[in-house]
Amino acid sequence: MLDDLHLTTQGQPLAYRREHAPLHYLFAGRLGPLTMSTTPQPGRPRCLAIRAMRCATLVLFLGPGGMPNTSAQHRLRKQPLVGVYGGTGDNTQQKAIASGVDVLFPSIAWYKPNRFMNNIVKRVRAHGIKVYPSLAVAYDGYQEKHHEFAKLHPEYWEKRKDGRLINRGTEVGLSWGHSEVRAYKAQTIARLVKTSDVDGVLLDYCRYFGQNAGYADVIVSAFRTQFGKDPHKLAPDDPQWIRFRANYVTQFVAELRSALDQIDKSLAIIACVNPDPQDCLNRAMQDWATWLDRGLISGVVTMIYERDTNNSLQQVMLANEAIQGRVPHMPLIAPYGGNLMTPAMLRDGSLKCLATGTRAVGFYRSDSLFKYHLWDTVAEVAQWSLAGLNKSRVNYLLNPDFENNLENWAVGNGHGIGTTQERAKTNMQSLRMRFPGHRSIRQLIDRGFLQGKQALEFSAWLDSSNLSPEASVSIEISTNTRNGKEAFFRIPIETSNQIGWQRVNAQVPVGDSQQLNSIVAGITASAQKGELLVDGLILNLIASKRAAKNLFRVDAPSAITTDQNRNRNLARGQIVRGSSFWDNGYGYDNAVDGDLGNANYGKGAAWHSQRPAVKQWIKIYLPTVEQIGRLRMLNASSESAYRTREYRVEVSTNDHDYTEVARGVLPDNGHTWTVVNVRPIAAKYIKFTGLTGYNRDYAIGLKEIEVYAP
């Protein structure tokens, strides 16, 4: 029991002053104030911050006073640190020990003391594994089941802007504005930490349940007193109102820090957050950047649950920029939820996280590691050589071995293109193009560009032995910079009916990789008959200036409209990107795939954005500049909450300067096509923006958009 705990806040946030902590505490996970050794200095912009981040990671996750065993000391120098989130059972503990895991984040429903946490600590600590229970601290119940403190104090429930109490359903929580609530949470967590002997805690859901939460009377009254404004008359995203509510969560973190300090100052508070601190603040009033600035947290675990590992790379770099090496950073990637479900995908995600300079990676969740048989991959990552990773090149092409069929690849109308298991080269499947005709596959890379690269290297396995003699095969690469400048490269490939699989390679210059807006890379082929097999594609950015600037550079092709192709849907099967998507199965390419199905809320057939239903967009990347003159659009079919109301369509030839060509309102149904004739205009990039949805609190949606020549 912690009856002697005394939190002296007087209604003000506690400021944890790191500069006065004893030296041995500073090396126990919570670092001191930034000095010459941790702050990037002019002329040495990032190397020291990365070095500090690596040292801090070792200290926090492996301990300050030497390693628990010689193997851990060996890994200290050479291998990445590996964490696993989720299970509390014996199977997870056994697998974690066998796989060389360094950190466990067991997830528990309530943060009160419990026996099984003690058992976990006793078992895994003998193997050098640290334990930080994951606590969903915003939750005080589920549906209509609440913990005892909440039952005793119904006056403390949080409110939404419309006055509804947040005390039932899937989001149930007491208000951060009540000092009694914060004290209860801090003291209960401290009791858990003390009785279970864990190494600290992972704070999950340390935030509000969205912008329209945080309207409890105590918070509204305090804001009105301080600023003379009524929050109910302000927009939920008003910056001052956002910051005011966020301060109460920050105050809780400060109070928890004080409570844990009374037990042991080396106990860690790790924030489990999204990678973008500004987005966390704006969406959920979770100000983890301030927690970091004030020295309240000992580490950051970023939740990156997605299939697009290039975006994961981008998100890790974004978090690194905010953290600046001050505390350890462990990106948490996920086989869970239909994301990185194969060994190849999990390796790719892990490599891209570590390529940013972090030396840690975590996996969410343990049950998914069992479900998809990925514990061996976790063990493999735990044994990677950090020195070797520094020399590795990340592959920016997703699904490069076609193990997920044609996912991530734009194939136009798809005629003659598919996958086959008959003659795979690098994995279980390869791509097969069948002829006669013209075939192409393309993929877009528009994020995650590592700095200090000047060239692009593309390679692939090709088998052209069954192509007709006149066939032509080319690697095609286009680059677009932030100022709208484009370059197009075509590298012809010599075909042979005598040789089977052959490796082809090409290098082209990209200038400064930090100025890249996008890369589109792929393979095109034309033949009268036969087939071409493709496998094992790789696209690296390299630090090389040797690529000849104009060796393969050609004028970008322009389309010619004829009577034969005038009624061809130019958008069908092309590359699409967007602002957000609801979940796997509701992605951007659904809007150009020709699938008009209505089943399962349009899953696999329609694009649904994330919340809110305001200014969400998709952008179509045509292979060439086309003259367009007609648009057809069909709204999502699921229900009004996922449909677009007001829309806008813009076009560009360089992805920099856009011209609006259409604006209007889509019907509130999923079966009425909207047809718009536009004045003929050249376009390579077509951007559809859902300005508003039929329900602002839900999503923008679109089942299909078609684009035609005049």
Please determine, for residue 453, whether its predicted confidence score (pLDDT) is greater than 70.
Answer: yes
pLDDT in tens, 544-593: 866 656 677 777 776 655 556 678 999 999 999 999 999 999 999 999 99
Q: What is the pLDDT of residue 546?
A: 66
Distance of alpha carbon 528 from alpha carbon 470, whole angstroms: 8
Q: What is the chain's mean pLDDT, rounded?
A: 89
What's the mean pLDDT in 179-203? 97
Model pLDDT, residue 46? 39
- Give the pLDDT band (50/70/90) at residue 114: confident
| Torsion sign, CA atoms 402, 404, 405, 411 | negative
Q: Domain 417-554: which topology?
A: Jelly Rolls (2.60.120)
**Alpha-carbon gap, residue 399 to 471, rounded angstroms:** 26
Conformational region of residue 104, where left means phi above 0, alpha means psi within -120 to 50, and beta covers everything else = beta
pLDDT tens digits, one per residue of 485-521: 999 999 999 998 888 999 999 999 999 999 999 999 9
pLDDT in tens, 316-366: 999 999 999 999 999 999 999 999 999 999 999 999 999 999 999 999 999
**Would you say residue 288 has pLDDT above 50?**
yes
Query: Which residues are registered as beta bridge partners of 432?
Result: 418, 533
For the CA atoms of 133, 139, 10, 156, the dihedral, rounded to the nearest 10 degrees, stands at -150
Residue 73 has a pLDDT of 44
pLDDT in tens, 581-638: 999 999 999 999 999 999 998 999 999 999 999 999 999 999 999 999 999 999 998 8
- Position 87 scores a pLDDT of 83
Q: How high is the pLDDT of residue 685? A: 98
Q: What is the 3-state secondary structure (H, E, C) of 164-225?
A: CECECCCCECECCCCHHHHHHHHHHHHHHHHHHCCCEEEEECCCCCCCCECCCHHHHHHHHH
pLDDT in tens, 224-244: 999 999 999 999 999 999 999
Fold of 18-303+314-332+353-364: TIM Barrel (3.20.20)
CA distance linking residue 224 with residue 220, whole number of Å: 6
Q: What is the pLDDT of residues 415-440, one digit of tens each?
A: 999 999 998 999 999 999 999 999 99
Fold observed for domain 575-708: Jelly Rolls (2.60.120)
DSSP category for residue 388:
H
pLDDT(23) > 50:
no
Average confidence (pLDDT) over 48-56: 48
Over residues 131-137, the mean pLDDT reads 97
Given this model, what pLDDT does residue 544 score? Answer: 81
Domain regions of the chain by residue span = 18-303+314-332+353-364, 417-554, 575-708
Q: Do domains 18-303+314-332+353-364 and 417-554 have the same CATH topology?
A: no
pLDDT for 68 beyond 50: no
pLDDT band of 5, cuts 50, 70, 90: very low
